[in-house]
């Protein structure tokens, strides 16, 4: 059992548990087993030469799609143009994509498959969405050392490329140990800065923070600015799970922008939302703050999963951290909109309760909602899916030019976002509701995250770009995962290619595992 899956005790809010609580399942290692499995597949992983014809080419830039042909060769896009305009090599395979969309492979800039990839290197639920690149290390929790983790990914060779951030919470715990429930000293901030610089030189793309979680909860804005400067010095960006997505939402946005301004680096607001009824309808105010910051010359964007429910730990409901105080617990439950909005997952003591709402658990036990909450926290805490968001706010963020798509989930996620995010955007928000055009939806998941990461070789369809491709049926693509079955595979993605190697075809992995670690080259 990895450190990220230790059985929780007490508050249940430790950063060690973050990945397990978000995924809603126990994590694990298993790299040697994965490497053996790769060797046993016998699947050819040399880039293919293929001419795709009569596809609707949606290039990721937001430009109108058009029917055309596209040739891949040597792992890259060799040419694209009008139907019949490309002369392919004699040995090229030809595939007619009439009625299908050919787009760049999706880049999930906020993914929590960090450890789970070693148990499930085929990453089936990710491939079924058209994902070709994932970024781990979000919410302040990252692998460490960065170089060791990336080397393990190279050895594993999963079906997706993997990049990582360096976590502020990770380096804070290394610098402060278990004595982290306080402000850091200047010497400790200097220690964190050195560690962030190390992570960046080893290939991390930026700094992440998780300010609602231990140990980042106790950090000052000044500490974050100082540590973010270390990432800025290597060309990185700052991705933040802000201090508050509910009552203190506006102040949290202001703090994130201030850190970017004073540290001199771009800002990425994670899983942007108006988290409960106290801030429903405030999405336009959040976006206005982002607009003003960008007009000022800063570079501020955000990402979003397309569901009106979040996932974290049960402890997050009680912001005072007085988990045994009935008044504090009652206040937290009321702010969430009631116990019927709180769905318990990843409760190790009595797993048969997983999936139930807190009020259902209370009825089963013959207690009040408050008593049920206290009992769960006293017995290790649990993961939580909070059904506390407002669909209108989700729509408003969805339509914003500053917001891209991310899952905040991953392999084996209990939340449906782990298996359904990108098809849900294409099916529900494009085809069914018209909140986005197809072209804007594709841009949200391709060139926008590629730009944020500084990856110039992917995220668009153009000659010379990597042949990372997602081919889907726009009339059929849809998410099938639910809050009762979070791992149900999406439908409608017909084929996925990574560096010119087909990894997904006809509803299942091909067995090819050409994935590798991506390292940022320090500036």
Phi, psi of 448 (to 5 degrees): -65, -55
pLDDT on residue 521: 84
pLDDT on residue 45: 84
Buried b (16+ CB within 10 A) or exposed e, 93-132: eebebeebbbbbbbbbbbbbbbbbbbbbbbbbbbbbbbbb
pLDDT on residue 36: 31
pTM of the model: 0.91
Distance CA 98, CA 87 (A): 19
Q: Is 145 helix (H, G, I), strand (E, B) or coil?
A: coil
Buried b (16+ CB within 10 A) or exposed e, 322-353: ebeeeebbebbbebbbbbebbbbbbbbeeeeb
Phi, psi of 422 (to 5 degrees): -70, -45
Distance CA 369, CA 366 (A): 10
Q: Which two tokens stand for residue 285?
A: 């105010």
For the chain, which domains are there?
1-28+309-388 (3.30.1490.130), 111-307+389-456 (3.20.20.140)
> Per the omega criterion (within 30 degrees of 0), is the bond before 121 cis?
no
pLDDT on residue 7: 31
pLDDT on residue 214: 93
CB 15 within 8 A of CB 210: yes
Phi-psi region of 505 (alpha: psi -120 to 50; beta: other; left: phi over 0): beta
Q: Which two tokens stand for residue 403?
A: 């917001």
**Partner residues linked to 108 by β-bridges:** 134
Q: Which two tokens stand for residue 476?
A: 């059929």
Distance CA 165, CA 143 (A): 9
Q: Which two tokens stand for residue 423?
A: 């098809």
Whether the CA torsion 121, 127, 129, 130 is positive or negative: it is positive
Q: Which two tokens stand for residue 97?
A: 């994509």
CB 509 within 8 A of CB 122: yes
Alpha carbons within 13 A on the beta-carbon side of 367:
14
Q: Which two tokens stand for residue 53?
A: 């014809």
CA dist list (Å): 424 to 427, 441, 491 = 5, 10, 10
**Partner residues linked to 301 by β-bridges:** 268
Q: Which residues contact 514 (CB under 8 A, 6 or more apart)?
A: 45, 157, 159, 498, 499, 501, 503
Of 403, 411, 355, 421, residue with least CA distance to 383: 355
Per-residue pLDDT in tens (0 to 9) along the chain, 523 residues: 232 333 333 333 344 445 455 555 533 333 333 333 333 344 658 999 999 999 999 999 999 999 999 999 999 999 999 999 999 999 999 999 999 999 999 999 999 999 999 999 999 999 999 999 999 999 999 999 999 999 999 999 999 999 999 999 999 999 999 999 999 999 999 999 999 999 999 999 999 999 999 999 999 999 999 999 999 999 999 999 999 999 999 999 999 999 999 999 999 999 999 999 889 999 999 999 999 999 999 999 999 999 999 988 999 899 888 999 999 999 999 989 899 999 999 898 999 999 999 999 999 999 999 999 999 999 999 999 999 999 999 999 999 999 999 999 999 998 999 999 999 999 999 999 999 999 999 999 999 999 999 999 999 999 999 999 999 999 999 999 999 899 999 999 999 999 999 999 999 999 999 999 999 986 6
Q: Is 417 helix (H, G, I), strand (E, B) or coil?
A: helix
pLDDT on residue 320: 86
CB 240 within 8 A of CB 227: no
Residue reference for tokens 């729509």: 395
Distance CA 318, CA 519 (A): 38
pLDDT on residue 26: 35
Distance CA 274, CA 390 (A): 7
pLDDT on residue 34: 33
């Amino acid at each position: 059992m990895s450190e990220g899956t230790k059985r929780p005790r007490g508050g249940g809010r430790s950063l060690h548990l973050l990945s397990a609580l978000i995924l809603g399942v126990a994590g694990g290692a298993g790299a040697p087993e994965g490497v053996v499995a790769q060797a046993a597949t016998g699947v050819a992983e040399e880039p293919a030469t293929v001419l795709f014809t009569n596809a609707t080419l949606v290039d990721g830039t937001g430009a109108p799609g058009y029917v055309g042909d596209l040739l891949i060769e040597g792992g890259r896009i060799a040419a694209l143009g009008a139907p019949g305009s490309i002369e392919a090599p004699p040995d090229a395979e030809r595939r007619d994509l009439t009625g299908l969309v050919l787009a760049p492979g999706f880049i999930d800039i906020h993914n929590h498959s960090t450890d789970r990839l070693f148990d499930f290197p085929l990453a089936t639920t990710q491939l079924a969405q058209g994902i070709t690149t994932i970024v781990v290390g979000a919410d302040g929790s990252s692998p460490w050392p960065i170089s060791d983790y990336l080397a393990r990914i190279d050895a594993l060779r999963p079906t997706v490329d993997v990049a990582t951030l360096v976590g502020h919470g990770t380096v804070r715990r290394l610098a402060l140990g278990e004595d982290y429930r306080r402000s850091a000293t200047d010497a400790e901030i200097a220690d964190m800065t050195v560690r962030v610089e190390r992570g960046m030189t080893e290939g991390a793309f930026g700094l992440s923070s998780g300010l609602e979680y231990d140990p980042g909860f106790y950090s000052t804005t000044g500490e974050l600015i100082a540590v973010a400067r270390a990432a800025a010095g290597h060309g990185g960006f700052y991705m933040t799970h802000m201090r508050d997505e509910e009552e203190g939402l506006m102040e949290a946005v202001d703090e994130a922008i201030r850190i970017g301004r004073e540290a001199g680096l771009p800002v990425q607001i994670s899983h942007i939302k108006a988290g409960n009824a106290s801030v429903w309808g405030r999405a336009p105010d959040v976006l206005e703050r982002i607009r003003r910051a960008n007009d000022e010359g800063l570079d501020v964007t955000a990402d979003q999963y397309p569901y009106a429910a979040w996932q974290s730990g049960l402890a997050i409901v009680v912001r005072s951290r007085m988990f045994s105080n009935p008044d504090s617990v009652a206040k937290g439950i009321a702010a969430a909109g009631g116990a019927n909005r709180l769905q318990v997952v990843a409760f190790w003591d009595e797993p048969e309760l997983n999936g139930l709402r807190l009020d259902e658990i209370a009825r089963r036990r013959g207690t009040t909602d408050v008593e049920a909450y206290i009992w769960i926290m006293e017995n290790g805490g649990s993961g939580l899916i909070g059904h506390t968001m407002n669909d209108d706010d989700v729509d408003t963020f969805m339509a914003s030019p500053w917001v891209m798509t991310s899952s905040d989930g991953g392999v084996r996620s209990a939340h449906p976002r782990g298996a359904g995010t990108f098809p849900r955007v294409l099916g529900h928000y494009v085809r069914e509701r018209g909140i986005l055009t197809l072209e804007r939806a594709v841009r949200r998941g391709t060139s926008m995250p590629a730009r944020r990461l500084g990856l110039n070789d992917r995220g668009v369809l153009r000659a010379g770009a990597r042949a990372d491709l997602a081919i889907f049926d726009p009339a059929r693509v849809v998410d099938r995962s639910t809050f009762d079955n979070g791992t149900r595979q999406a439908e409608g993605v017909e084929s996925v290619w990574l560096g010119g190697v087909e990894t997904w075809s006809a509803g299942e992995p091909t067995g090819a595992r050409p994935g590798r670690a991506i390292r940022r080259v320090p500036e």
